[in-house]
Amino acid sequence: MAAIPVISVGDILEMKKPHPCGEKRFKVLRIGSDIKLSCVGCARTLVIERVKVEKMIKKIFPCEA
């Protein structure tokens, strides 16, 4: 992605690299200078620096519902 991706709480992010459990999709729980994510596959939570998350994103599925 050329532009900085717009991330919102509730969005599902598809990452370039999968979680150790094999799942590539993560749900956004909290956004600050770090972003808290929960793995869609195993429900484990992780906190990653925002700049790193932005580089890891392959695709964003916005939260509509």
Instruction: Choose between 1 and 30: whose C-beta lies nearer to Zn ion.
Output: 30
Q: Which of residues 2-61 bind Zn ion (CB under 5 A)?
A: 19, 21, 23, 39, 41-42
Instruction: Choose between 5 and 41: whose C-beta lies nearer to Zn ion.
Output: 41
Binders of Zn ion: how many residues, by CB under 5 A?
6
Q: How far is the CB of 21 from Zn ion (least distance, A)?
A: 3
Is residue 25 within 8 Å of 18, Cβ to Cβ? no
Residue 20: in which H helix or E strand, if any? none
Distances in Å between the Cα of 49 and the Cα atoms of 29, 31, 64, 65 are: 14, 10, 25, 27
Q: Which residues of this protein are in contact with Zn ion, per CB under 5 A?
A: 19, 21, 23, 39, 41-42
